[in-house]
Structure 1
């Protein structure tokens, strides 16, 4: 149980015990001295009650007027009237000469009952619901209405008491007052029950203080139930209970309407500040905080007499997109969290980890002795991932690439150091190395790459792409059975740009989808034109990129292409890579939809991917294409020969066709024939050539059977 809840329970138990104790004490004041002492104590208690009531009014009205709430304003207005009634009751009951002629002891007791009735109903209505802001313009209006109601209540009370005095007897008046006091007690108890009801939200500490004040108001009202001018002890304990209740109410209203909103506002501001400077996925400081800290490091270097260096390492997870695609974004997010935890656990003094967003982190190392120490520490960071990361779906080995920028030397500002380290890590990934320190040449390469990307975006509309075709030959009959369409880019200034240079850029910037669509349409249209020209129909192979393959509407799009062109789907072979089948369920659904069109499906670069062989027996695949890296050294490397032999043997058992890529000489061709490889393509037959030359060399009727 929380502390405030304990205090509330203690207050309730103490109040009940006090009431029972007073009721059990046979104390009756005898003599003028005892009655005078009790009257003096009652006067002190009543004055305290009035003072605390006025303090509640002053606190809500005069202090912190720029932080208005309805609860604070209404409670202030309420206790303005309550303290006036309490004050008139006290003056009348004690017997101040001038007041005594206007307010008798009996009327003073009625004033006390009306005061408690007003406080009971008001507190129930104000604190029985959630607080809300109040407009500053409405403050004075509430005050005027409150004063008007107080004056009106005093007038009505005075007129009513004189009017009823001649109608009802004193005994009836006393009974009516007791009924009124009982009703007030009931309202207090209802207020307590309503506020602590389970249906309401968790009770704040300030609301528990108000509950304690209500408990003692109810206790005081219990004392007033049988109060009369002759029972000063009941009145005294009633006044003391109400004074304690008003004191607690003063603190509770302050905390509920001022202190708690202030701390809540501070907490919200702190949360916003945290979100501004931290990554919500990993909880690490973000790039904005990194900029600040690197600025501080640079400034400390400039003012320090000790000559040392600091390094900023940008860490990028290799092939993270494949993980996201194959395992899903939830698994990718979890992997980022685990990777961040592993790096952070390995951090040393003067080292801090930051999130750069996505799959990139920044690692700031300050006061490093030398550049060699930076490189050595970077290698240790890479070694943190020698052990696999365990996800719900299994264990996964990941690797990192690191780009380094070192101060002083690799940048004068935080922005330069971060940008240069980021440039270095992307160059490391392109070059296939683990660690790369920034050098100006890398920046030049990055600018060239950016310019190439901009040119690539306009290459389609400028019709700078074209296709080359490489023949595919059946080894048993030496017959042309197909061709592969290969994309090329004729840049107006650079000349012929290698696919190895622009395809990765197109993949990264999302252009690969429209470019891939263009390749498929152009190759299919060319194949249809050759069929219409009277040449024997053959199959055209087209590579699909990962982004293309993941399109949910891919089958419908390809079906639309073929229908508009008029090409039979059986003359189209779509080539995918093994990495596209890592998510087996999605890959199976996509391949099934493609097979329903009637096209062929081939696995390109077989043996170099990440997937298992499990998909071969379940997925609708027609052909395996042995990667050229295995064929190139098949006569020199026994391991490569064994791999090719195994692939062809397995394909025969699974009733799949096998095509060998990269055949360049007669020895390779004879080896593939011995392994019963079905088809082959490579420079031994022809390099990739333009459509006109392909038509002239291979599509003439006399060329179908090729010389051995």
Structure 2
């Protein structure tokens, strides 16, 4: 239970105990001195009640008048009338000659009863509903209506006070006033119950203060039921309770209608400010805050004699898109949070971590001793990821690339430093290095890369792509049993662009999907044309990109155009990489759908990626292709020889075919034969060549006639 709730409950219990105590004592004041003392104390309490009532009106009408709410406006109007009634009651109780001729002592108590009835009903109508803002022009209208209502009430009260004594006896009048006081008590209790019920989900501290004021009002009203002109002790306790109630109501209304909305506004503004300057996924300060902070650092360097240098490092997660696409966006988001947490745990004084959006982070290092210390600290950041990161799908070893720019050598503005560090990290990723400092040459390369991407977008429609074919040879018979289709780009101005230059750009931009579909259609169409020309059917191998492989409708697409081309799926070999099988369930379902078409599935560049015996055993694949990096040094490096031997032996046991890539000499060929490798391809047999040349050199007519 909250503190304010405990206070409210304690108030109710203590009030009930006080009422029972006073009523059990039956204290009656008989002496003149006692009556005068009571009158003085009662007068003080009544003046306090009137003052607090006027304060409620004043704070709603005069303070923060541009922030009106329904609760403030109507409570101030209500207590303007209540204050007038209370004031007239007090003046009548004192017995001022002029006032007493109009309001006798007995009538003063009737005024008090009507005042309490008005406050009870008014509080119920005001605070029993949700508060809402109101327009400022409505203020004067409510004031006029409240004044008119007070005047009308006084006229009706005056008329009643003159005519009722002639109709009812004093005993009946006293009973009627007690009954009215009892009804007012019930209304106060009803106020408490309704406010508790309507606000039961969540009660603010200010609302609990208002409820405590109602407890005091109910307590005071309970004392007033038997109080009267005999001026017993109940009258004093009733007045004191009402004074305390009005004070609490003044405080509660202020908090409810002014202080709490102001604090809520501050909290909302703080939340908005936080969201503006922080990344919602990692909770780190974002790029906008980074710009501000770097500007502050630059300004501090200019205005003070700071020695050393400051550096901005941009870190990028390698192969994040592969993880994000293969394991899903939730796993990708979780990975970003874990990476941010690991870097944040290693922050030192004078360093700050920021989110750049996506899979990039910025690390600001200020007041470093030297350039060497900047690079040493950068290496330490990368070394944080020597240990794997644990996701729901398992443990994953990840690496980061880092680009760094130094102030002021690599830029004298925040935007320049951030842009140059970002350019450096992308250059580091492109060249496969861990750390790269910005140099102007990198910027030129980045612009060149952007231009290349723009040209790549138009290459398909301009028909600038073409295919080369490299034969695959069966080692046992030396017969051509297949060919791999390899993409090339003939740029109108640049000439022949290396796949190493444009394939990564195509993958990052998403252009690899339409390009990959073009390669698959073209290679399959060419294979069908050769079969129609009467050549012996062989299999064509085509590489699938990760983006292609993860398309839900991939099998349907391939099956559709194979049917249109008329090529038997058994003459198509789709090559995927190990990284595509990281999400085993998705990969298995996709491979299953592809195998149902009747195509072959090969794992390309085997041994260089995410190797797992589990997927080799369970996934529907037909062949492993040993990466050329192992074959190239198989005769010089015993480790590479052992790897090739192990892969071949494992494939035989799993009843998979093995193809070795990058065979360039006779020694390599003989070693592969000794390891019982099934097939091989490489420059020893032929470099990749155009379709016409491949047809002339390697294709042989079938002795069975043309395939259908």
Q: Shared topology, TM-score over 0.5?
A: yes
Structure 1 residue ranges (4+ consecutive) displaced by more than 6 angstroms after TM superposition = none
> In the alignment, what sits opposite 1:86?
86
| CA distance 1:68–1:355, shift in 2 (3 Å) | same
Q: Is the Cα–Cα contact under 8 Å of residues 536 and 702 in structure 2 kept in the other structure?
A: no
Distance in 2 (CA, whole Å) between partners of 1:164 and 1:378 is: 94
Q: In structure 2, do the counterparts of structure 1 residues 653 and 390 end up closer, same or farther at CA, with 3 Å as the change threshold? A: closer
Partner residue in 1 for 2:244: 244
3-state SS of 1:387 partner: coil
CA contact (8 A) 2:534 2:702 kept: no
State the match for 1:40 in structure 2: 40
Partners of 2:159 and 2:563 in 1: CA distance: 98
Say yes or no: does 1:659 pair with 2:686. no
Residues 581 and 611 in structure 1, CA contact (< 8 A), matched pair in contact too: no
Q: Distance in 2 between matches of 1:112 and 1:217?
A: 12
CA deviations over 1:135-191 (Å, ceiling 9, x no partner) = 222222222222222222222333344443333333223222222211211121222
1:631 aligns with 631
Q: CA deviation at 1:26?
A: 4.2
How far does residue 344 in structure 1 lie from its aligned partner after superposition? 2.4
SS at match of 2:137: helix
Take 1:641 and 1:660, find their aligned partners in 2: how far apart are those partners?
12
Instruction: Note the 1:25-424 alignment, pairs <5 A.
Output: 25-197=25-197, 200-424=200-424
Q: Which moved further from structure 2: 489-498 or 609-618?
A: 609-618
Could you tell me how far 1:326 is from its partner in structure 2? 4.0
Give 2:469's aligned residue.
469
Deviations, residues 28-58 of structure 1 (Å, cap 9, x unaligned): 2224443233223222222221121111111
CA-CA distance at 1:414 after TM superposition = 0.9
Taking the aligned partners of 1:83 and 1:409, their CA distance within structure 2 comes to 74
Residue by residue over 1:565-610, the C-alpha shift from the partner in whole angstroms, topping out at 9 and shown as x without a partner, is 2322222211100110011011001111111222111111111111
Question: Which residue matches 2:615?
Answer: 615
With over 3 angstroms needed to count, the CA separation of the structure-2 counterparts of 1:644 and 1:703, relative to structure 1, is: farther
Q: What is aligned with 1:539? A: 539
Cα distance change on mapping 1:37 and 1:640 into 2, 3 Å:
closer
Q: What's the secondary structure of 1:537's corresponding residue?
A: coil
C-alpha distance 355-87 of structure 1, shift in aligned 2 (>3 A): same
Aligned equivalents of 1:397, 1:43: Cα separation in 2: 82
Q: Which structure 2 residue ranges, 5 or more long, are not aligned?
A: none
Alpha-carbon distance in structure 2 between the residues aligned to 1:204 and 1:702? 89
Deviation at 1:703, TM superposition (A): 11
1:7 and 2:4 correspond: no
Q: Is the 8 A contact 2:527 2:540 kept in 1?
A: yes
Distance 1:464 1:102, change over 3 A: same
CA distance in 2, matches of 1:462, 1:387: 47
Kept after mapping to 1: 8 A contact 2:224/2:235: yes
Deviation by residue 1:186-206 (Cα, 9 ceiling, x = unmatched): 121222233334962322111
Confirm or deny: 8 A CA contact 2:35 2:231 kept in the other structure.
Answer: no
Which position in structure 2 is the counterpart of 1:529?
529
What do residues 388-419 of structure 1 show as CA deviations (whole Å, max 9, x unaligned)? 33444444333222211111211111111111
In 1, distance between residues paired with 2:138 and 2:421?
58
Counterpart Cα distance in 1 of 2:319 and 2:673: 37
| Residues matched between the structures, number | 704
**Secondary structure in 1 aligned to 2:410?**
coil
Q: Cα deviation per residue 1:72-113 (whole Å; 9 max; x = unaligned)?
A: 111111111111222222223333323323233333222211
Structure-2 change in CA distance of 1:395 and 1:198 (3 Å)? farther
SS at match of 1:118: helix
Q: What is the CA-CA distance between 1:426 and the residue it aligns to?
A: 1.4
Give, in whole Å, the separation in 2 of the partners of 1:175 and 1:169. 10
Q: Distance in 2 between matches of 1:477 and 1:347?
A: 62
> Is the CA contact 2:645–2:675 (under 8 Å) kept in the aligned structure 1?
yes
Q: Secondary structure at the match of 1:411?
A: coil
Instruction: Single out whichever of 188-197 and 255-264 deviates more from structure 2.
Output: 188-197
Partner of 1:437: 437
| Contact 1:625–1:660 under 8 Å retained in 2 | yes
Q: For 1:69 and 1:29, how far apart are their aligned partners in 2? A: 46
Q: What CA deviation, in whole Å up to 9, does each residue of 1:319-354 have, x standing for no partner?
A: 223333344333333333232233223222212222
Cα deviations by residue, 1:624-670 (Å, 9 ceiling, x for unpaired): 11212222223333332332222222222222222222222333333
Distance 1:547 1:702, change over 3 A: closer
Mapped to 2, the partners of 1:644 and 1:539 lie a distance apart of 24
Match of 2:493 in 1: 493
* Residue number in structure 2 paired with 1:594: 594
* TM-score, normalisation: structure 2: 0.95
How far, CA to CA, are the matches of 2:73 and 2:46 in structure 1?
A: 24
Whole-angstrom distance in 1 between the partners of 2:551 and 2:392: 26
1:702: how far off?
8.2
Post-superposition Cα deviations, 1:113-139, rounded to whole Å, max 9, x if no partner, equal 121111112112222232111122222
Separation in structure 2 between the aligned mates of residue 367 and residue 486 of structure 1, nearest angstrom: 51
Contact 1:282 1:336 in 2 (8 A): yes
Matching residue of 1:649: 649
Q: Is the contact between residue 582 and residue 611 of structure 1 (CA under 8 Å) also seen in structure 2?
A: no
Q: Report the more deviating stretch, 469-478 or 496-505.
A: 469-478
Q: State whether residues 569 and 598 of structure 1, in contact with CA within 8 Å, keep that contact through their aligned partners in structure 2.
A: yes
What is the CA RMSD across the aligned residues, in angstroms? 2.1
Secondary structure at the aligned position of 1:121 is classed as helix
Contact 2:469–2:690 (CA<8 Å) still a contact in 1? Answer: yes
CA distance, structure 2, for counterparts of residue 115 and residue 331 of structure 1: 66
Say if 2:584 is the partner of 1:584.
Answer: yes
Give me the whole-angstrom Cα distance separating, in 1, the residues matched to 2:310 and 2:25. 81
SS at match of 1:136: coil
Matches within 5 A, 1:693-704: 693-701=693-701
For 1:160 and 1:537, the matched residues in 2 are separated by: 116
SS class of match (2:167): coil
Could you tell me how far 1:265 is from its partner in structure 2?
Answer: 0.6
Which deviates more, 516-525 or 26-35? 26-35
SS in 2 for 1:196: helix
Which whole-Å CA distance do the structure 2 matches of 1:436 and 1:685 have between them?
A: 39
SS in 2 for 1:485: strand
Verify the 8 A CA contact 2:536 2:700 in the aligned structure 1.
no
Distance 2:639 2:34 in 1: 115
Q: Secondary structure at the match of 1:701?
A: coil
Match of 2:548 in 1: 548
> Which digits, 9 at most, give the CA deviation of each residue in 1:180-235, with x for residues without a partner?
21121112122223333496232211112111111100110000111221134222
Distance 1:163 1:548 in 2: 97
Alpha-carbon separation, structure 2, partners of 1:533 and 1:161: 121
Shift of 1:488: 0.6
- Cα distance per residue 1:50-71 (max 9 Å; x no partner): 1211111111011101111111
Identify unmatched segments of 5+ residues in structure 1: none
More displaced stretch, 277-286 vs 250-259: 277-286
Partner Cα distance (1:536, 1:139) in 2:
96
Question: Within 2, Cα distance between the matches of 1:20 and 1:105?
Answer: 27
Partners of 1:697 and 1:703 within 8 A in 2: no
